[in-house]
Structure 1
């Protein structure tokens, strides 16, 4: 039987940077974001024992090996080792959008892989424990300097606020009216910058600045926007909600650009300014920065004109994923 995990990517609205232990070990941290209907799929098929390899992996490259230790893909290798997966497997990975694009694909992959491994072992795991397991895998098994929001968005799905206080995580779904939620979802569009990047250099500079307390004021401002954003999103006037939310996104992006010299580039700034001139209320670059996707907020009545003016750009409308990482069986 082929078993597949389907795990959503995410867009982070506010609070990014406060979800790093380097920050929330000293101050409360909080983020607001949304899982989106763009996915990473990881499939596994148990292999017959007489085949001359034990693990066949198909992702951006093809691997055939007989030992877990020889697997080149670091996440697959370490997760299979940690969870003591000993059976022969054929595994393949496909994704709706490219990696290294600021949509949390690395963490979504880790969440989806752990979810798949647990399904293969017929073991149950809560969404909280799935997110925490992915955080442990990335930060401890792989020694990656990552935040802790992407794993939670991928595990839970939906539109949520996550708080990080005193070593604990609190999950609070944003309670939106139907008209406001429909307005928000019909306004969001991704614009591909054409730049695939590694977030490591940007994250390294930002973490060093966080450790040295050079960006405490800026991160505090982003945290304040998180609380304000929930109040705005839960308002009852859809048009007022969207206009205010878009303006706040713009404000947050201006702050985020000040966290590191590597967050943006002149080309990205030019594309962002063009989107604003075409009718967007505001937006931000997704992820740590340096490339990937811009997320823009465009009121529905301006979308046709916006699409016409931005026709040379690669635009992707998005919706909300409401399920989180799921197991599909064929």
Structure 2
């Protein structure tokens, strides 16, 4: 029997950086973002014990090993160990968009693989369980330099605000009208920078500034934008909502660049300026920085000019995922 999990990638709009325990352990953290209609898929097939290998793991490389400790993929290895799954497995990992591109793919995979292991074990789990277990594996077991918003966006999907205070996480779905939600869904685009990166490698300077308090002013501003953005998104005028939201994205991007010298570079700055000149109201680089995708907000009436102005670049329209982490087959 094959089981397939599907987990959304995410875009974070505001509050990124305040979702690190190094920050919200001493101050309130909050983020606003959404799961998108681009996914990570993990398929698992129970293997016969007569084969001469116990685990086969297919992703950007192929692993075929006889012992758990021989698996090189860290999340696969440690999740199987942590949850005590003792059957041989053939595991295939697929995604709609490339990894290391700022869309939270590593956390989406962690959530999806945990969901799959629990399904194989016949074990029930809420979406909050999945998010917390993914945080546990990434931060506690693997000691990855990651925040905690990606796991929650991946597990829950939807357009949500997450507040982090000490050990408590509170979810608040954004209450949009249908016209405003339709306007947002039809106005979001990813523009590929042509560069991928490891998030942990770009975060050293930012984390030092976070721990020392040197980034507190900018992080407080990004936190304030979460409150403002929720009000804007929950308004009734789609045209005004897009205008104000686009301006806020631009403001947030200018603030985010001050968190670390590694967030942006001349190529990213030039591409972002080109996108705004072509008609985007605002945007930001997704994820930790240094590469991946730009998220740009372009109202429908500006999209023809935007596509013409961005000719030669990969442009991907995205919309809201409303399901979150799910099992497709069982």
TM range (shorter): over 0.9
Alignment partners' CA distance in 2, 1:202 and 1:259: 11
Alignment partners' CA distance in 1, 2:218 and 2:259: 7
Alignment partners' CA distance in 1, 2:198 and 2:134: 20
1:312 Cα deviation after fit: 1.2
With structure 2 as the length reference, what TM-score do the two structures score? 0.99
Cα deviation per residue 1:130-169 (whole Å; 9 max; x = unaligned)?
1000000100110111100000000000000000013200
* Count of aligned residue pairs for this structure pair: 330
1:41 counterpart = 2:48? no
8 Å contact 2:146–2:200 — kept in the other structure?
Answer: no
Map of 1:318 onto structure 2: 318
Map of 1:116 onto structure 2: 116
Map of 1:141 onto structure 2: 141
Map of 1:5 onto structure 2: 5
Alignment partners' CA distance in 2, 1:68 and 1:227: 46
1:198 Cα deviation after fit: 1.3
1:286 counterpart = 2:286? yes
Alignment partners' CA distance in 1, 2:137 and 2:236: 40
Map of 1:75 onto structure 2: 75
Cα deviation per residue 1:23-62 (whole Å; 9 max; x = unaligned)?
0001000000000010010000011111111111111111
Secondary structure at the counterpart of residue 222 of structure 1: helix
Alignment partners' CA distance in 1, 2:92 and 2:201: 29
Alignment partners' CA distance in 2, 1:66 and 1:219: 47
Alignment partners' CA distance in 2, 1:203 and 1:250: 21
1:89 counterpart = 2:117? no
Alignment partners' CA distance in 2, 1:56 and 1:306: 44
Aligned ranges 1:159-308 → 2 under 5 Å:
159-308=159-308
Alignment partners' CA distance in 1, 2:108 and 2:208: 25
Alignment partners' CA distance in 2, 1:323 and 1:186: 19
1:304 Cα deviation after fit: 1.0
1:263 Cα deviation after fit: 0.2
Alignment partners' CA distance in 2, 1:97 and 1:50: 36
1:278 Cα deviation after fit: 0.5
1:265 Cα deviation after fit: 0.6
Alignment partners' CA distance in 1, 2:194 and 2:132: 32
Alignment partners' CA distance in 2, 1:63 and 1:198: 21
Alignment partners' CA distance in 1, 2:44 and 2:244: 45
Alignment partners' CA distance in 2, 1:199 and 1:59: 19
Alignment partners' CA distance in 1, 2:22 and 2:145: 10
Alignment partners' CA distance in 1, 2:186 and 2:174: 17
With structure 1 as the length reference, what TM-score do the two structures score? 0.99
Alignment partners' CA distance in 1, 2:154 and 2:201: 24
1:61 counterpart = 2:61? yes
Q: Give the gaps of 5 or more residues in structure 1.
A: none
Secondary structure at the counterpart of residue 214 of structure 2: coil
Alignment partners' CA distance in 2, 1:217 and 1:251: 14
1:328 counterpart = 2:323? no
Q: Give the gaps of 5 or more residues in structure 2.
A: none
Secondary structure at the counterpart of residue 204 of structure 2: helix
1:201 Cα deviation after fit: 2.6
Runs of 4+ aligned structure 1 residues displaced above 2 Å come to none
Alignment partners' CA distance in 2, 1:5 and 1:168: 27
